[in-house]
């Protein structure tokens, strides 16, 4: 068995690679190393798993991509431009990476004699700002007024591609889904909520849990955009990898499906609710400043992952406190320390 991971030196990609390399499975990492910090993840992978194969390449390079995918049985497409703010500043590059890059991956897979199973990391941003879901404001968080939505957002919720990022990721999402219908590729689309954990070099634009923790550990001011009552459901990255593994194991049932994946209501938290948890974990007091809302920022998003539970028996198992402790321990390792603290 051979695996290839685009964006394989990134946050989620490194965790996927680590999982399969521990199983002794041939694993190729395909990454252009454009995101700060990923070279440290790659160095860790090479040191920990000397058999890992690395290709420094870009998903916008179709010919290279097609060559490297040859002989692959399982393809994880994790490479993307990941920040809403960056997409607003430079929508063309965002489109070239997220939409055209994903089309390149699909076409490279389709060109193979035996096309691989393809896993695509989509996003909850395909549901846009969710203005049609009436929101109420509570003391420390926003919530859905409609009790039917309080369990979370299902896969049949109306798509609404807010922001260039939402548009480009949504295009990729729909292309991957349609390639299963039109060309018979075995694909899986995961619309992911807030993923956090080890190997995440978060910043103000993306990866806010790791970014907040890093700021707190450095004694720097944390900027909160909006009023801090916006809610996300948090999912620890190893639970996400477990989700992928379980879905792939049931590919005869899951192929061509789209799944909403996140921590669900049990592991939902607002920004200002998370701060005391971070302070307790890091034994530090947060310094905070508030700034204006950013475009496309959902007031509340909570995942209903029940379809994943029904189809392949998955649910999140890592409480937020334990996940934050794991992230804290990773941040203070020599691997992460020079960049994170």
Q: Catalytic residue numbers?
A: 165
Give the burial class of 280: count Cβ atoms within 10 A of its Cβ; 0-12 exposed, 13-18 middle, 19 or more buried: exposed
Closest CA to 316 of 271, 256, 259: 259
> How many angstroms separate the CA atoms of 231 and 262, rounded?
12
Q: Do 175 and 102 form a contact (C-beta atoms < 8 A)?
A: yes
Q: Residue 221's beta-bridge partner residues?
A: 287
Helices within the chain (DSSP H only)? 11-22, 38-48, 62-69, 84-89, 91-95, 101-110, 163-183, 208-218, 237-249, 251-254, 271-282, 306-312, 320-331, 334-340
Kindly report the CA angle at 225 between 33 and 98, in degrees rounded to 5? 35
Closest CA to 85 of 213, 189, 211: 211
Q: Backbone dihedral region of 152: left (phi > 0), alpha (psi from -120 to 50 degrees) or beta?
A: left
> How many angstroms separate the CA atoms of 153 and 156, rounded?
8
């Amino acid at each position: 068995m051979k695996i290839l991971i685009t964006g394989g030196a990134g946050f989620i990609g490194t965790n996927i690679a680590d999982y399969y390399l521990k199983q002794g499975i041939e694993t190729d990492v395909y990454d252009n190393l454009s995101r700060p910090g990923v070279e440290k993840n790659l160095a860790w992978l090479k040191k920990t798993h000397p058999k890992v194969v690395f290709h420094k390449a870009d998903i916008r390079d179709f010919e290279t991509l097609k060559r490297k995918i040859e002989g692959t049985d399982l393809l994880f497409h994790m490479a993307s431009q990941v920040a809403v703010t960056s997409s607003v500043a430079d929508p063309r590059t965002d489109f070239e990476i997220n939409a055209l890059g994903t089309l390149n991956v699909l076409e490279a897979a389709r060109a193979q004699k035996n096309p691989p199973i393809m896993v695509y990391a989509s996003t909850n941003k395909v549901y846009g700002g969710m203005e049609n879901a009436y929101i109420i404001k509570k003391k420390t968080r926003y919530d859905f007024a409609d009790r039917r939505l309080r369990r979370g957002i299902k896969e049949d919720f109306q798509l609404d591609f807010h922001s260039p990022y939402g548009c480009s990721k949504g295009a990729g999402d729909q292309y991957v889904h349609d390639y299963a219908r039109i060309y018979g590729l075995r694909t899986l689309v995961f619309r992911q909520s807030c993923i956090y954990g080890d190997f995440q070099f978060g910043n103000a634009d993306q990866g806010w849990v790791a970014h907040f923790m890093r700021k707190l550990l450095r004694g720097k001011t944390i900027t909160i955009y909006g009023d801090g009552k916006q809610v996300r459901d948090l999912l620890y990255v190893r639970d996400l990898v477990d989700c992928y593994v379980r879905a792939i194991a049931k590919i005869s049932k899951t192929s061509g499906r789209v799944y909403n994946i996140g921590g669900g209501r049990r592991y939902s938290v607002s920004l200002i609710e998370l701060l005391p948890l971070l302070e307790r974990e890091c034994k530090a007091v947060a310094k905070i400043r508030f700034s204006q809302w950013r475009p496309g920022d959902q007031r509340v998003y909570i995942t209903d992952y029940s379809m994943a539970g029904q189809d392949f028996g998955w649910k999140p198992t890592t409480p937020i406190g334990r996940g934050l402790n794991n992230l804290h321990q990773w941040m203070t390792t020599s691997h992460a320390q020079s960049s994170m603290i």
